[in-house]
Structure 1
């Protein structure tokens, strides 16, 4: 429900449409708050003022955390007010506590779309429709408008990996700013590039499963690792993580904890958040201890 032109009241029922879906078109700031929270009452009017002042540059979605405990858990809200910036359907930045208006303004401006970002959004739609060549042309155009559009480079690198052009993907990563290369999304991209390179030399799934069933020690551990990567690249994230958790339990020290490190890289691919990550983080902790 709209509170005003650029401010929405959001709950579990409309979160996917009002936040996740809308964030593919415009920056959405989600303000997790509660009526009893004094800092929330201080921050809320600042956010609402800036939403109106900036005239649609971003949308403010207000979530009453008391009434939407499931959303708070899903997005790991541990204190309020908690503000999370959504782009392209996922959280890209956040802060907790009542910041002064100048700091809130700086947070918003840092997350506003880059020059040429409308082309990147069009490219993501093209990717979803299976139009890889069209998407690539749009992304290259976005980068020509603004070479510092690192999110466009991320999308280009993903396309290159899907097409087996690993050198092109690495070139896009190398062209990103050093600061952006430290982002979780890029860490996940680096992991995906590493996984695809390793999987290229892996035996068939049938051979790997036979090795796991018949061998012991390092040969078995290696086969479990390779099988997990093949599963991951087939889109079977849970099956891949199940294999890696078993590997942690049975071959914890193989190649200096390779299974544990790989699980953490898969978490980075998932943005280090979400139900899948929460579930397997708990399983990983139990397997290690």
Structure 2
């Protein structure tokens, strides 16, 4: 038993589970004294609740003594575990899971640990200061502390892209990111910009000789983006729209929209907003 694990009845269920779940995921274990698998699962859950130190709370419900609660949650066999977060049922399983599977389940629903959250904050500060290698080391440490945290993994991928380590970023992005799908898609779009990067110098020379070569200007925009020169990339694509909005069936506008997708939801938000306004002004 620990401060993170407690018995619950119908009388205190609202306060101990529903109200508590507004802040922290609550794992509700429906068990009974005569149930053999319950005697395996319950102490394991208690041990992990103490180990996770408040990243989730464990509420234990004796289903024999609280049949109304069991019926309300549709419990048909025990042990049954339900997860309540922010007042809603968000996950569940039935039966006694092995410790490895149980840890994977808890990692999926538990809040980040204080140490892990602190490492992410340190990494963000290092990125802002331009210390990308040091930031990546912090994120690797955070990922080792909680390998299931997709936000930390995507932070690391973002830093890898900034470092130009596209192959490593691509390998990590090949996995599934169901909990962070939108951000993963943004990073995949940025990875697509980085792959097959052309040298901007020959394109700049070609464009200097032929300023109305819109195809060359768009190639240069993509080369700039691949080299993390995002402002120059956006300016080059916008210039195509300014000079000929109908070129390539609106290729300049589409290139800008692709850049907006790749740069969304992060440190480039101000830049994206600026060029969205410029694009709108150019088209109107």
TM-score, normalised relative to structure 2 = 0.50
> Is residue 148–residue 176 contact of structure 1 (8 Å, CA) maintained in 2?
no
In the other structure, the counterpart of 2:188 is 190
In the other structure, the counterpart of 2:203 is 208
**How much does 1:237 deviate?**
4.0
Indicate which of 213, 233, 238 corresponds to 1:245: 238
Indicate which of 245, 258, 269 corresponds to 1:265: 258
Query: C-alpha separation between the residues in 2 aligned to 1:190 and 1:148?
Result: 20
Residues 172 and 229 (structure 1), Cα distance of their counterparts in 2 relative to 1, 3 Å cut: same
Asked which structure has the greater CA Rg, the reply is 2
**How much does 1:169 deviate?**
0.3
> Is residue 123–residue 139 contact of structure 1 (8 Å, CA) maintained in 2?
yes
Residues 197 and 251 (structure 1), Cα distance of their counterparts in 2 relative to 1, 3 Å cut: farther
1:224 aligns with 2:222: no
Cα distance per residue 1:162-216 (max 9 Å; x no partner): 3332121012222242452x31x33332232222224x32341xx3233224348
SS in 1 for 2:221: helix
In the other structure, the counterpart of 2:127 is 127
| Residue correspondences, number | 187
SS in 1 for 2:174: helix
Residues 146 and 229 (structure 1), Cα distance of their counterparts in 2 relative to 1, 3 Å cut: same
SS in 2 for 1:164: coil
> Is residue 194–residue 227 contact of structure 2 (8 Å, CA) maintained in 1?
no
**How much does 1:148 deviate?**
2.6
In the other structure, the counterpart of 2:137 is 137
In the other structure, the counterpart of 2:112 is 114
> Is residue 187–residue 265 contact of structure 1 (8 Å, CA) maintained in 2?
no
Residues 138 and 190 (structure 1), Cα distance of their counterparts in 2 relative to 1, 3 Å cut: same
Query: C-alpha separation between the residues in 2 aligned to 1:265 and 1:114?
Result: 33
Residues 137 and 238 (structure 1), Cα distance of their counterparts in 2 relative to 1, 3 Å cut: closer
Query: C-alpha separation between the residues in 2 aligned to 1:248 and 1:208?
Result: 18
In the other structure, the counterpart of 2:157 is 157
In the other structure, the counterpart of 2:96 is none
Residues 168 and 242 (structure 1), Cα distance of their counterparts in 2 relative to 1, 3 Å cut: same
TM-score, normalised relative to structure 1 = 0.49
In the other structure, the counterpart of 2:72 is none
In the other structure, the counterpart of 1:167 is 167
Query: C-alpha separation between the residues in 2 aligned to 1:111 and 1:229?
Result: 40
Query: C-alpha separation between the residues in 1 aligned to 2:258 and 2:218?
Result: 13
Gaps of 5+ in 2: 1-18, 25-83, 89-107
Superposition CA RMSD, Å: 4.2
Query: C-alpha separation between the residues in 2 aligned to 1:242 and 1:131?
Result: 27
